[in-house]
Amino acid sequence: MPAKRKVIQWATGAVGLHGLKAIVEHPDLELVGLVVHDLAKAGQDAGAFFGGPPTGVVATTDVNAALNLDADVVSYMATGDIRMGEAIDDMCAALAHGKNVVASAVVPLVYPAAFPPDLVARLEKACREGSTSCFTSGIDPGFANDVLPLALSGLCRRIDTIRVQEIFNYATYPQPAATFDLLGMGHPLDYEPLIFQPGMLSFAWGPVVHQLAAGVGLELESIRASHERLITDRKISTPVGVVEAGTVGAFRWQLAGAVGGEERIFVEHITRMHDDLAPEWPQPRIHISLEDRGFGGASGQGQYRVLIEGSPTIHCDLEVAQDHDHDQGARVATASRLINAVVAVCDAPPGLLSALELPLITGRG
């Protein structure tokens, strides 16, 4: 039997906690290190973070000590939304130390060919120095809008358009700063959140559109971004905070990629803080029963959807849930996608990877 790959988990937040548990339970992996940012977490056994048995691995805030451990890969799941520069610094440090990296932090790196060249050069230099590989993925950006639609496209004789959607209620997303400040929920319309500042949608999700195009053998001419926001007429209480009447309670945005003068590839998010807001917008078709958490329609329900117009036309809904919560299911899926990819990333040639360069990644055990 091949030796287990040794993994350092970096971060134990909304995604990292699930990554940590996935490493401990994975038959082909061995947890050897755990990096945390909160001093209060330092010194605790890794198993204590998810209610598991002792692992013998103790959490540390000493990054250099962790990177000097005998390990094959770093699972980097720290927040990157508002600290992208720091996240890239961390990833470069791990790569240069001879540690392969699987990451959920800097989401545009799902398709490095469409990421800013200066930042790509930094990461590639670190890969060369450490003879290492780096793979960024998750569920969205990630599996739901790269592997899934591209696999489905293999059923088509002709493809006219590809549309991928995230249709989600963010009421249970456990990062209030992201929901309210980055996304702008609970603010008046004159508040301009980071996500809707000029160029941000194309920066963050544009690589998804480019990767879809590349996957079906096309080169994009342009990407057009658009969005709209909905004001709620009532107060909405959610597990992560209150959305007051007269503030944004839902939004939708779209990126449209043009080929041959026509828009052909679409990435779209429909985001609500309550299930009954904007009923005319696309809705999830829920099949997994959800627990009533006492917040009415603020239940965290959601779905990923792929719509391919062509011959044949394809409609595919992907629903994930954990403990009666679709949001938590998405976080488990994000972490698991990366942890299950560890062996393939370790075996890949040095450099930045996308889903197009990796084999089929399956669950193990």
**Domain-located, residue 159:** yes
Are 184 and 198 in a shared domain?
yes
Are 114 and 97 in a shared domain?
yes
**Domain-located, residue 211:** yes
Q: For the whole prediction, is pTM greater than 0.75?
A: yes
Q: What is the pLDDT of residue 331?
A: 94
Q: What is the pLDDT of residue 325?
A: 83
Distances in Å between the Cα of 267 and the Cα atoms of 44, 167, 218, 223, 275 are 41, 11, 16, 10, 21
Residue-by-residue DSSP string for 223-257 = EEEEEEEEE-SS-EEETTEEE-TTSEEEEEEEEEE
Are 172 and 251 in a shared domain?
yes
**Domain-located, residue 256:** yes
Q: Output the domain CATH number for residue 72.
A: 3.40.50.720
**Domain-located, residue 107:** yes
Distance from C-alpha of 72 to C-alpha of 23, rounded to nearest angstrom: 13
Are 194 and 77 in a shared domain?
no
- Rounded average pLDDT over 275-298: 76
Per the structure, the count of domains in the chain is 2
Are 346 and 309 in a shared domain?
no
Are 200 and 273 in a shared domain?
yes
Q: Which residues of 85-103 are buried (b: 16+ CB within 10 A; e: fewer)?
A: eebbebbbbbbbbebbbbb
Q: Which two tokens stand for residue 137?
A: 């993925």
Q: What is the pLDDT of residue 308?
A: 98
Q: Provide the domain limits for residue 297.
A: 143-319
Are 169 and 315 in a shared domain?
yes
Q: Which two tokens stand for residue 95?
A: 């790569």
Q: What is the pLDDT of residue 310?
A: 98
Q: Tell me, what amino acid is at 12?
A: T
pLDDT band of residue 82 (cuts 50, 70, 90) is: confident
**Domain-located, residue 97:** yes
Are 296 and 261 in a shared domain?
yes
Are 11 and 97 in a shared domain?
yes
pLDDT band of residue 326 (cuts 50, 70, 90) is: confident
**Domain-located, residue 365:** no
Distance from C-alpha of 49 to C-alpha of 311, rounded to nearest angstrom: 49
Are 66 and 208 in a shared domain?
no
Residue 293 clears pLDDT 60, i.e. is over it: no
Residues sharing a CB contact under 8 Å with residue 329, sequence separation 6 or more, in sequence order = 319, 320, 321, 322
Residues sharing a CB contact under 8 Å with residue 73, sequence separation 6 or more, in sequence order = 5, 6, 7, 8, 99, 100, 101, 102, 342, 345, 346
Helix (H, G, I), strand (E, B) or coil at 146: coil
Residue 292 clears pLDDT 60, i.e. is over it: no
Phi, psi of 335 (to 5 degrees): -65, -45
Are 198 and 313 in a shared domain?
yes
Distance from C-alpha of 160 to C-alpha of 310, rounded to nearest angstrom: 5
**Domain-located, residue 363:** no
pLDDT digits (tens, 9 = 90+) for 164-220: 999 999 998 888 988 999 999 999 999 999 999 999 999 999 999 999 999 999 999
**Domain-located, residue 364:** no
Are 64 and 148 in a shared domain?
no
Which residues share a beta bridge with 136? 103
